[in-house]
Structure 1
Amino acid sequence: MKFCKKYQVYKQVQDQKKEKLPGVGFKKLKKILKKCRTDLQSQNVDLDNGVLNHISTCPHSCPVCDGTFSPSVLKEISAVIGRFNERAQKLLELHLASGFRKYFMWFKDKLQGNHVDLIQEGKDLVTYAIINTVAMRKILQKYDKIHYSKQGLAFESQAQDMHIGILQSPWLCELMAFHINLRELKAKSRKAPALFEECSLIFNDGKPSLSCELFDSIKVDIDLTCSICLDIVFEPVSLTCHHILCYLCACKAASVTIVDGLKAADHKGKCPLCREAGVYEGAVHLEELNILLSRSCPEYWEERLKAERAERIQQAKEYWESQCRAFMGV
């Protein structure tokens, strides 16, 4: 089955659901490109007669369609990544909640008191993210084919620079870790069904990475080595530029203490890797990934925990001493 037909079937199923999710308008965008191709074919020159044939003016700012095509793709993929992040965050918060808050959230969302609904929601979210990513890539490839250009390829890079690439979302990383954690639970209880296959935590020369084979041969590889301490990320956080660092390393890079946290970072603070500004305030704590790594390398985790506990105590001591001196006017 061609992707266009497969995508239509997927959209029909989604349209029947109560909550309609935004998606890449694959069919609509193909019509724009079809119109564009027709108009481009009409723009030819009769070299024998030296006469310029009738040129029909494309209403979409042809020959590059930047007037409607690119803004439409940008708007639609932005809506998709926004909804994906929102629902993935809600799902993982529900999974990690404890005590009364957990029961309240289960009751509020009318879910069963087990993981079946969570797992199905996770599968639906992954499918939603990946199929829209493929749809975007297919339509951009078609754009380049029609216009004999590399504008579509450049657009995908631009989308990643604007942090609206689905495969770069920290919540996809969290869903992958969520899947592996549940898979380990399944091995123990033999009750929890798998989220999606071909997802694993790989150690190469002691360096970990998340790897996953997804729909249409898309592969996601996420390096889990902190670029500051050059070790396995400990209490990982994803900056808004999508670089993953240890929480303590991120605090040091942002020139803030653990007591103050990343929210106290200067809004102009730059990522130590890509030098993008303002990346700390919206940092995402990767709780599922933290659980996965702590289970996968317990000895390292215990050593790192002891070392960081000492540093946290020292920073807290220095912080309260400075607060006391300020209060006393010393």
Structure 2
Amino acid sequence: MKFGKRYQEYMQGQVELPQVGIKRLKNMLKKCRKALPPEKNSLNSCVQDASESRCCQQHCQVCDGTFFPALVSEMSAVSGCFNERARRLLELHLATGLKKYVNVLKRRMHISHHDNLMQEGKDLVNYAIIHSIAMRKLLKKYDKIHYSKKGQEFKSHAQEMQIEILQSPWLAELMAFYINERECTAKKKGMAATEAMAATAVAGLFRECSLEFNEGKPVLCCSLFDSMKLEVNLTCSICLDTVFDPVSLSCGHIFCYVCGCSAASTSIVDGLKAADSKARCPLCRQDGVYNKAVHLDELCILLKNSCPEYWKERQQSERAERVRLAKEHWESLCQAFTGI
């Protein structure tokens, strides 16, 4: 089955969610192909004259004026919807205090409340994956028609605009949520991890979601259909150790909370929200990525359960480091206030 048909079938059951109009965007590219002069419309002539074969490699009035703006608009809507839905779902699951008490009452009145959360989490991961594949297919189509690499270059542009859905911090959180709940269900039912994985495998888009260790380094993996595999590296590029108390910047890169504060030149008391708007990510060098940083609570739970000895050791050393940094912060404030 072609991806376009599969995509349409999937989105028929997701009426309330925004989607990328694959057919409409492909029709835009067809119009671009029809707009070419007859001699430029055949592959043979394009191969014969390399200098003229690129119909609009540097500039295309049809696509630059319609295709890319439409794709940016639809990707922004999809990414924004996904982030908001994932945030609300995880806040509901990790609720504390009065919210947690209300959720307990709901679960008693409605036994399948937990199952509903699991199903919504799976649906959101599927939603992210299928739209990422749709974007990849569309951009490959663009490059095929234009004999260019502009479509591939657009991926970097989408990441800079923070509308690439696979770089969303909430996707890593949903993957961790899925693994945590799968293992929790396995413990309650007395199942082996492999049996639980098979029982909760999602038919269709992502076939397996797991935490793997490559040479002792943790990696969050998700095997997708269409021979794709999503991998999220969980090694902090600053301290070069497994991320502790992880946070994800809006560019998608994950760091330890203390390391992130250090990179942003802000104190752990003020937090990443107080970072300068010009502060850059240590990896991709994008600016303005700290203000929308997300604390990855589900990932924190997953790593704590998967690496208990490391987590306990790191927690002890981290506590001492945080006390020292907090003390330095308040002493500097007192000196600034008193002038002594």
TM-score for both structures, normalised by structure 1: 0.86
1:293 to 294, 297, 303: 303
User: 3-state DSSP class of the match of 1:198?
Assistant: strand
Partner Cα distance (2:186, 2:35) in 1: 59
Q: 1:244 to 1:63 in 2, by over 3 A?
A: same
Q: Among 73, 81, 84, which residue is 1:83 paired with?
A: 81
Q: Which residue of 1 aligns with 2:46?
A: none
Aligned match for 1:194, one of 185, 200, 219: 200
Letter of the 2:273 counterpart: K
Going from structure 1 to structure 2, the CA distance change for 1:72 and 1:105 (only over 3 Å counts) comes to: farther
Superposed displacement of residue 64, structure 1 = 5.6
For 1:124, give the aligned amino acid. D
1: distance between equivalents of 2:138 and 2:81?
21
Q: Distance in 1 between matches of 2:78 and 2:20?
A: 8
Partner of 2:29: 33
2:283 & 2:309 partners in 1: Cα distance?
29
Q: CA deviation at 1:319?
A: 3.0
Provide the residue aligned with 2:314 in structure 1. 304
Hey, which of these two has a bigger chunk of helix by percent? 2
Higher deviation after alignment, 98-107 or 291-300 = 98-107
Cα 1:302/1:36, change in 2 over 3 Å:
same
Q: Secondary structure at the match of 1:245?
A: strand
Distance 1:117 1:106, change over 3 A: farther
Deviates more, 1:302-311 or 1:187-196: 187-196
- Structure 1's 2 and 247: CA in aligned 2 closer, same or farther, altered over 3 A? same
**Alignment RMSD:** 2.5
> What's 1:97 paired with?
95
Matched, 1:320 2:320: no
Question: Aligned partners of 2:336 and 2:252: how far apart in 1?
Answer: 37
Q: 1:222 aligns with which of 232, 240, 253?
A: 232
Which moved further from structure 2: 78-87 or 307-316?
A: 307-316
Which residue does the alignment assign to 1:8? 8
Q: Give the corresponding residue for 2:150.
A: 151
Shift of 1:71: 0.8
Q: Is the 8 A contact 1:131 1:215 kept in 2?
A: no
CA distance in 2, matches of 1:36, 1:325: 66
Give 1:71's aligned amino acid: P
Is the CA contact 1:264–1:281 (under 8 Å) kept in the aligned structure 2? Answer: yes
Gaps of 5+ in 1: 46-60
Match of 1:49 in 2: none
Q: CA deviation at 1:35?
A: 2.3
- Within 5 Å, which residues of 2 pair with 1:86-235? 86-104=84-102, 112=110, 114-190=113-189, 194=200, 196=202, 197-235=207-245
Per the alignment, do residues 216 and 4 of structure 1 end up closer, same or farther by CA in structure 2, a change over 3 Å counting? same
Supply the distance in 1 between the matched residues of 2:178 and 2:310 (Cα, whole angstroms). Answer: 23
Matched-pair contact (CA < 8 Å) for 2:243–2:256: yes
Q: Measure, in 2, the Cα distance between the counterparts of 1:107 and 1:39.
A: 62
Question: CA 1:206 to 1:24, structure 2 compared with 1: closer, same or farther past 3 Å?
Answer: same
Q: Which amino acid aligns with 2:4?
A: C
Give the C-alpha shift of residue 289 in structure 1: 0.5
Per the TM alignment, residue 31 of structure 1 is displaced from its structure 2 partner at its CA by 1.7
Opposite residue 145 of structure 1, the aligned amino acid is K
Q: Secondary structure at the match of 2:63?
A: coil
* Paired letter, 2:280: K
Task: Give the CA deviation at 1:327.
Answer: 4.7
The AA in structure 2 aligned to 1:78 is S
Q: 1:167 is matched by which residue type in structure 2?
A: L
TM, length-normalised to structure 2: 0.83
Q: Secondary structure at the match of 1:68?
A: helix
Determine the C-alpha separation between the residues in 1 that align with 2:30 and 2:267.
56
Partner-residue secondary structure (3-state), 1:40:
coil
Residue 200 of structure 2 aligns with an amino acid whose one-letter code is A
CA 1:195–1:44: 2 relative to 1, 3 Å: closer
**Aligned partners of 1:328, 1:39: CA distance in 2, in Å?**
72
Q: Say how many residue pairs are matched.
A: 310
